[in-house]
Chains A and B, each alone.
Chain A
Amino acid sequence: GENVEQHPSTLSVQEGDSAVIKCTYSDSASNYFPWYKQELGKGPQLIIDIRSNVGEKKDQRIAVTLNKTAKHFSLHITETQPEDSAVYFCAALPTRGSNYKLTFGKGTLLTVNP
């Protein structure tokens, strides 16, 4: 089955700096890679996603890059703000077999210091 590794597990940045979170996956059949933000006591909320036919996607201060050859994808947050503080999860979804089952990384606790 799919295995998703996520790094770092914790990340502390100053307000206004950039933050980068990296994930690797094992199943070459995976073709959809969402990122979720989870605040304390809440469920994960989708913030951005990318499909395997695209190398990069951007939405305002958030961007995701994908390298299918190396099987890794990254989340980039620019001009960080205190409200960006949360746990971020990457995930992967395969195209065949269980093509409905998201496999998540273990999460990154991002702290943005004012």
Chain B
Amino acid sequence: DTGVSQDPRHKITKRGQNVTFRCDPISEHNRLYWYRQTLGQGPEFLTYFQNEAQLEKSRLLSDRFSAERPKGSFSTLEIQRTEQGDSAMYLCASSSWTGGVAAFGPGTRLTVT
């Protein structure tokens, strides 16, 4: 059981730079989610994929954010022209087609200086 993995675990970048995060879900899970968590808050939904199709994007996801899941396996989340307000933990989760339990990855902590 490899679980959900995310890379990198930590990223420090300067304001205005682009960053890309990767998520590898549990292999048999066809649903993949991205959440964002700021200090002292619960995770907030960003976007959802069923296989390779992105079926919902939160209003939290501005046009500087883009997510892909090209082959229905791993996913990437890119943030362009980062801002200090983007500093957060970005969590990936996956679940089976039944949409039940979501297994979360360890997260990528982004710090924008």
Contact = CB atoms under 8 A, between A and B. Distances in A.
Interface of A: 4, 6, 32, 34, 36, 41-46, 49, 89, 91, 93, 98-107
Interface of B: 4, 31, 33, 35, 40-45, 48, 50, 56, 91, 95, 99-107, 109
A91 to B, nearest CB: 7
Contact of B31 (A98, A100, A107): A100
A80 to B, nearest CB: 22
Contacts of A6: 42
Nearest to B42: A104
Contacts of A100: 31, 33, 48, 50, 56, 95, 99
B95 to A, nearest CB: 8
Contact of A44 (B31, B43, B48, B95): B43
Nearest to B6: A43
Given A101-B45, A101-B48, A104-B42, A43 B31 contact: no
Nearest to B105: A43
A104 B101 contact: no
Nearest to B49: A100
A48 to B, nearest CB: 11
Contact of B56 (A4, A43, A101): A101
